[in-house]
Amino acid sequence: MHVTVATSDDNVYTLEVAADTTVEVLKGMIHAESGVQPERQALVFNGNRLNNDSATLSSAGVGDGDLVMMVPAPPPRAQQQGAPQGQQAQRQPPMDPVMMQAFLRELQNIPQIQELLRANPRLAEALQRGDQSALAALMQAAQGGGLPGAGRGPPAEPDPFADLTDEQLMDPEIQARIEQHIRRKAVDEQLAHSQEYYPELFGEVTMLYINAELNGTPIKAFVDSGAQGTIMSERFAEKCNVLRLVDDRFQGTALGVGTSKIIGRIHQLPMKVGNTTIVIACSVLEGDTMDFLLGLDNLKRHQCCIDLAKNELRFGSSDVVVPFLPEHEIPKNDIARKAQAAAEAKQKAAEGGGAAQPGGDPAGPSAAGAGAAQAAQQAPADGAGAAPTAPAPPQNGGAEDPKLRGLMDLGFSREQCEAALRQANGDADMAASLLFSM
């Protein structure tokens, strides 16, 4: 199990221990991490001090994921009245070999060993060899500030609880504040660590598109396994001459994070992938924002496998492999372009003293994939409900963010679009995919 140890100077250590690990062994592991001698450690759990060094963690009530506070303990009186500090340091015994072996075993299981290798190769090499003497020498050097890399980095934040006495630290309210402070600091450290070692997590993700043909019309199909159903825009259905095949008895409203009207369903549609033609079914939606989205219904029907390692889509039903398009071949989503044109027209009309009167919605609503499939698979019924009106933008007379406007035209609320844009770091394509997949 894992136990988090927080010190009074805002250091946090996550240790992997067993349920039968004693308090004494835990202090030894903390000593190896922080350099604080076991006799100078006072461990506090749930407001109670762990005084019995021979007690196990399970008997003390410490479980997996629990937080243990380590505060400085006053030195023994005999040590205060003893020899000078120089002589005491000379008589200080080396680290217990048994404790050292336990510490080495614990460190071997820590996933962050690669980070340790990068930060301090000498310490990592001694750890991997199991060289206790070299490891002890490096730890003593770290206590004296002589370890390579010691003292680097930004200055630590001042401890807001440094001036509190031990009695005040035991107060439940203070303990709650300390826990909140530690958790916030842990989140900040995790963010800084991710930005330093995994910057790719903050980059934009290239969406998955393949080249295909629908009824002889070329299309760059968007592959989305998070969308339950396959959808096609009304404009593209007219372009590839299949609008006449739409069964309007399957009208309905696609319900998901947003809403959009389904004008019908095409029950059979030839789709050419590679050198093979397969048959798919899809729902046709009002608007022209999303030309074609290949959803989970047809992906499962044709036993498709999204292989990200090879960057290809395999159709198991026909043994066809289609590569995903590279980023420069992916069609740029025209949501932002159309929304920008609408915003500019509105701005010009406002400057001219009149309200903008667009001839039509430049980017009709599109549906979330899950909702589209749910509505499309309803039993055919005449006179299905009409699509609800999309949220209207604020009438401030000025142009707003075209990306936000374009996403709102899909039928999502302003709050949902703003949250998706924040999550996608301002990328309109990724934000639209996130909204479709919710």
* Count of C-beta atoms within a 10 Å radius of residue 97: 10
Residue with the two structure tokens 């005491």: 88
Instruction: Using DSSP bridges, classify how beta strands 304-307 and 312-315 pair: parallel, antiparallel or unpaired.
Output: antiparallel
| Distance, CA of 102 to CA of 28 (rounded, Å) | 9
Catalytic residue status for 224: yes
Task: Give Cβ neighbours of residue 167 (< 8 Å, ≥ 6 apart).
Answer: none
Among the listed residues 20, 224, 409, 427, the single catalytic one is 224
How far, in Å, CA of 321 to CA of 312, rounded? 7
Residue 245 structure tokens: 């095949």
Catalytic residues: 224
